[in-house]
């Protein structure tokens, strides 16, 4: 498997896809990952379904609820990922909520990530101050990197601080919003992307939240190393299951 770092060095216009583990069916995880890899998705975000996903809109909330009803849990998702660790060629990013890590056990969780081929975490409710006080050390011990989010309301001073702490990439949240496709990208969003771009940050940038199709993906790529599509892909899965993944990805590129 290539590391995330290599991918960022080698390519531009990176496409990342988010899906909820256990959705639409409990055992779709590995199929979805291999389909995405076969269609040249550059890296993959695996979402851990959570009972109370505060940063997520209705589409991902619903997929989480279905995944939990399907019986998905951390032990199962780690087992599924371990099974494809040797064959999977694309970097995996795990997205979940802090309470899942806390309850599973911090060290046990990190160890399981390592054994499952995960190198990067996105925990939207892990704030910077807690990261600096504790989690930076913990993640470092296991060679894991952490992704911070920035939004149109994040101050320049704070963006600089996040840039300094970033080892993976900065997740540029496209609007003051929870996850979910919104259609077009507005002029004020463009202004915000330009502002971030001209800050000349050392970190790579990925734009997400509201990226849903070829047009929004292309626009996002003008200002960042690439973009993440989540809710739009979940909608595709709920419509066609895993059978049309290739068509969906081709429609984005």
Partner 1 sequence: MKFQPNKNGYYGQFGGAFIPELLYPNVKELEDNYLTILESVAFQTEYKDLLQHYVGRPSPLYLAKRLSEKYGATIYLKREDLNHTGAHKVNNTIGQILVAKHLGKTKIIAETGAGQHGVATATVCALMNLECTVFMGEVDIKRQAPNVARMKMLGAKVVAATSGSKTLKDATNEAIRYWIQNPETYYLIGSVVGPHPYPDMVARLQAVISKEMKAQLKMQTGNENPDTIIACVGGGSNAAGAFYHYLENENVELIAVEAAGLGVHSGESAATSQLGEVGVIHGSKTILMQDEYGQIVEPYSISAGLDYPGVGPLHAFLHETKRAKFMNATDKEALKAAYELTKIEGIIPALESAHALAVLPKIKFKKDQVVVVNLSGRGDKDLETYINHLEK
How near is the Cβ of 206 to partner 1 at its closest, in Å?
14
Yes or no: say if 145 and 168 are a contact pair by the CB < 8 Å rule.
Answer: yes
Binding site for partner 1 (CB under 8 A): 50-52, 54-55, 57, 61, 65, 68, 73-75, 97-104, 124-130, 148-151, 153-155, 158, 173, 176-178
User: What is the Rg, in whole angstroms, of the alpha carbon atoms belonging to the chain?
Assistant: 17
Catalytic residue among 45, 119, 204, 236: 45
Catalytic residue among 56, 119, 204, 236: 56
DSSP string, 119-163: EEEE-TT--HHHIIIIIHHHHHHTT-EE-EEE-TTS-HHHHHHHH
Q: How many CB atoms lie within 10 A of CB 71?
A: 9
Is the CB of 134 or the CB of 253 nearer to partner 1? Answer: 134
Residue 220: helix, strand or coil by DSSP? helix
Is the CB of 161 or the CB of 218 nearer to partner 1? Answer: 161
Is the CB of 22 or the CB of 88 nearer to partner 1? Answer: 22
56 is catalytic: yes
User: Residue 26 and residue 22: Cα distance in Å, rounded?
Assistant: 4
How near is the Cβ of 132 to partner 1 at its closest, in Å?
11
Query: In 30-47, which positions are buried (b, 16+ CB within 10 angstroms) versus exposed (e)?
Result: eebbbbbbebebbbbbbb
User: Residue 150 and residue 140: Cα distance in Å, rounded?
Assistant: 22
How near is the Cβ of 103 to partner 1 at its closest, in Å?
3
Yes or no: say if 96 and 116 are a contact pair by the CB < 8 Å rule.
Answer: no
How near is the Cβ of 9 to partner 1 at its closest, in Å?
26
How near is the Cβ of 222 to partner 1 at its closest, in Å?
23
Is the CB of 178 or the CB of 249 nearer to partner 1? Answer: 178
Residues identified as active-site = 45, 56
């Amino acid at each position: 498997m290539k590391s995330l770092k290599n991918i960022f060095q080698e390519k531009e216009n990176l496409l990342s896809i988010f899906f909820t583990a256990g959705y639409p069916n409990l055992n779709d995880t590995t199929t979805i990952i291999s389909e995405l890899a076969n269609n040249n998705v550059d890296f993959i975000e695996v979402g851990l379904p959570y009972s109370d996903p505060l940063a997520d809109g209705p589409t991902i909330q619903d997929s989480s609820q279905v995944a939990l009803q399907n019986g998905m849990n951390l032990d199962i998702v780690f087992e599924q990922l371990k099974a494809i660790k040797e064959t999977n060629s694309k970097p995996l990013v795990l997205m979940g909520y802090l309470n899942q890590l806390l309850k599973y056990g911090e060290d046990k969780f990190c160890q399981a990530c390592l054994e499952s081929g995960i190198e990067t975490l996105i925990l939207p409710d892990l704030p910077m101050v807690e990261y600096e006080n504790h989690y930076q050390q913990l993640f470092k011990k296991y060679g894991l990197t952490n992704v911070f989010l920035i939004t149109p309301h994040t101050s320049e001073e704070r963006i600089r601080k996040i840039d300094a702490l970033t080892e993976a990439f900065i997740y540029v949240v496209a609007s003051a919003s929870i996850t979910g496709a919104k259609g077009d990208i507005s002029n004020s969003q463009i202004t915000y992307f330009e502002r971030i771009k001209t800050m000349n940050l050392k970190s790579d940038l990925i734009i997400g939240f509201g990226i849903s199709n070829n047009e929004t993906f292309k626009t996002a790529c003008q200002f960042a190393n690439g973009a993440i599509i989540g809710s739009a892909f979940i909608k595709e899965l709920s419509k066609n299951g895993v059978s049309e993944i290739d068509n969906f990805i081709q429609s984005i590129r």
